[in-house]
């Protein structure tokens, strides 16, 4: 832990993140390498695991550098925040432009399937809300918050056009939660919640038959067992196969082709099948420990800007874990929400590590002030 304190202001956070990544890396090896290890193994099978490992090492370095080298208070400027908002909107628009050029019905990535601008947009919205509420103070009138609401809604609207309605709803939930953390008056906070709720409802309605099929698969996966209900059924079968103690690491069956997203959105199902309840429980304990440390950090931050950043990063992780966990056991309709640090995905991994870098910068400043 002493050595980790040289890499990150809070060694417990650094240690927890490393353990979570190891869970994801070992799961990725089990899915991508394990089935071919003794038969038809090719070096190309190591491509994704090595890319994921190198991405984490680089991202962890960025997290550490950001925590120690960046003064987060310099981000609390109109020039930087609105510059970040413009970049975020341009990247989301670039995805739509690429989608139109290629004639794809769905496209959420800017480059291949690795760069997903929406992950960056979540961080930008966190920074924007932190800046806005810290500058405006205790907001008691809706008109004083209208611009912030518009910025959030335009982000969500561009996400709906991809279409990624799940991420759009996630953005609304995250922003609304941060307004409360920022100290917005209930007479404003509640109406904004109603605006976001209506916007979310209209987004779902715009999905038409596709959204209806998703909800049908949630209510009864067997109704369309080879269509929208397929992944849900395979995920539940993975947990059933694993039982309490699991089949053993590398011995999962569903990952062999039935569960097509065994290393991404449904990584938890693979972990449940191979490591059983102890593996899943230990993973959730790690997330609980990480979130506890982040909330504890937030309580020590006196300024609104820094506190909203820390809580925003914590809520981003918490909501992702909650939604993913509920999705894989069919308590929520299927939605592509990755498990932070565990699911394969470079954009999500990078955004979460950068977010923790910002948290580290905030916390380091508090340590310096207290003279610890």
Nearest CA to 10 out of 296, 287, 303 is that of: 296
pLDDT at residue 371, as a whole number:
52
Cα(329)–Cα(96) distance, integer angstroms: 32
Whose CA is closest to 262, among 15, 33, 20?
33
Determine contact, residues 274/238, Cβ cutoff 8 Å: no
Q: Hey, is 111 helix, strand or coil?
A: strand
- Does residue 124 sit in helix, strand or coil? helix
CB 192 within 8 A of CB 176: yes
321: Cα separation from own chain's centroid? 8
Let me know: does 35 contact 256? Beta carbons within 8 Å: yes
Kindly compute the dihedral angle of the four CA atoms of residues 247, 18, 359, 172, in this order, to the nearest 10 degrees: -30
Specify the pTM: 0.94
What pLDDT tens digit does each residue of the chain (372 aa) get?
Answer: 656 677 889 999 999 999 999 999 999 999 888 777 777 777 777 889 999 999 999 999 999 999 999 999 999 999 999 999 999 999 999 999 988 888 888 878 887 777 889 999 999 999 999 999 998 877 778 888 889 999 999 999 999 998 888 899 999 999 999 998 888 888 888 999 999 999 998 888 876 666 777 777 777 777 767 777 788 888 889 999 888 898 998 888 888 877 888 888 899 999 999 999 999 999 999 999 999 999 999 998 888 999 999 999 999 999 999 999 999 998 888 777 899 999 998 999 999 999 999 999 999 887 666 655
Residue 324 makes CB contacts below 8 A (sequence gap 6+) with: 265, 268, 337, 338, 339, 343
- Rounded CA gap, 117 and 111, in Å? 10
CA 33, CA 29: separation in Å to the nearest integer?
5
Minimal CA–CA distance to 116: which of 178, 176, 167? Answer: 167
Residue 45 pLDDT: 79
Other Cβ atoms less than 10 A from the Cβ of 99: the count is 18
Amino acid 276: pLDDT: 92
**Spatial distance between the Cα atoms of 9 and 166, rounded to a whole number of angstroms:** 34
- The CB density around residue 156, as the number of other CB atoms within 10 Å, is 24
Domain ranges (residues) in the chain: 1-69+211-372, 77-206
d(CA 316, CA 119): 10
DSSP bridge pairs for 115: 111
pLDDT at 367: 67
In 3-state terms, what secondary structure has residue 115? strand
CA-angle at 231, arms to 280 and 171, nearest 5°: 75
Report pLDDT for 262: 83
Distances (CA, A) of 357 to 74, 265, 309, 324: 15, 24, 11, 23
CA atoms within 13 A on the CB side of 307: 16
Q: What is the pLDDT of residue 178?
A: 93
DSSP three-state, residue 299: helix
Residue 197: the pLDDT is: 93
């Amino acid at each position: 832990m002493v050595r980790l304190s040289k890499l990150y202001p809070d060694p417990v956070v650094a240690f927890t993140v490393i353990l979570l990544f190891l869970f994801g890396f070992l799961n990725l090896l089990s899915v991508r390498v394990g089935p071919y290890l003794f038969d038809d193994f090719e070096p190309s099978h190591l491509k994704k695991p090595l890319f994921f490992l190198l991405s984490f090492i680089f991202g962890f370095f960025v997290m550490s550098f950001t925590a120690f080298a960046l003064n987060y208070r310099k981000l609390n400027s109109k020039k930087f925040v609105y510059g970040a908002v413009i970049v975020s909107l341009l990247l989301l628009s670039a995805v739509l432009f690429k989608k139109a050029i290629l004639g794809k019905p769905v496209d959420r990535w800017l480059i291949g399937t690795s760069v997903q601008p929406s992950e960056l947009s979540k961080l930008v919205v966190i920074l924007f809300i932190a800046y806005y509420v810290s500058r405006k103070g205790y907001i008691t009138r809706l008109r004083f918050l209208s611009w912030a609401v518009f910025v959030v809604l335009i982000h969500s609207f561009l996400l709906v056009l991809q279409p990624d309605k799940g991420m759009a709803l996630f953005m609304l939930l995250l922003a609304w939660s941060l307004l409360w953390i920022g100290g917005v008056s209930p007479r404003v906070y509640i109406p904004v919640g109603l605006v976001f709720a209506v916007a979310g409802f209209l987004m779902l309605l715009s999905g038409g038959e596709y959204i209806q099929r998703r909800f049908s698969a949630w209510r009864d996966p067997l109704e369309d067992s080879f269509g929208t209900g397929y992944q849900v059924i395979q995920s539940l079968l993975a947990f059933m196969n694993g039982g309490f103690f699991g089949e053993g690491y590398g011995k999962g069956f569903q990952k062999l082709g039935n569960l097509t997203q065994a290393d991404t959105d449904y990584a938890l199902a693979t972990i449940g099948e191979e490591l059983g309840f102890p593996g899943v429980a230990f993973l959730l304990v790690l997330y609980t420990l990480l979130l506890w440390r982040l909330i504890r950090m937030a309580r020590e931050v006196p300024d609104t800007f820094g506190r909203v950043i820390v809580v925003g990063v914590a809520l981003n992780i918490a909501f992702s874990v909650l939604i993913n966990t509920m999705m894989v056991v069919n308590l929520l309709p299927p939605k592509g929400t990755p498990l932070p640090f565990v699911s394969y995905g470079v954009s999500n991994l990078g955004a979460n590590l950068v977010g923790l870098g910002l948290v580290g910068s905030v916390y380091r400043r508090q340590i310096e002030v207290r003279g610890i």
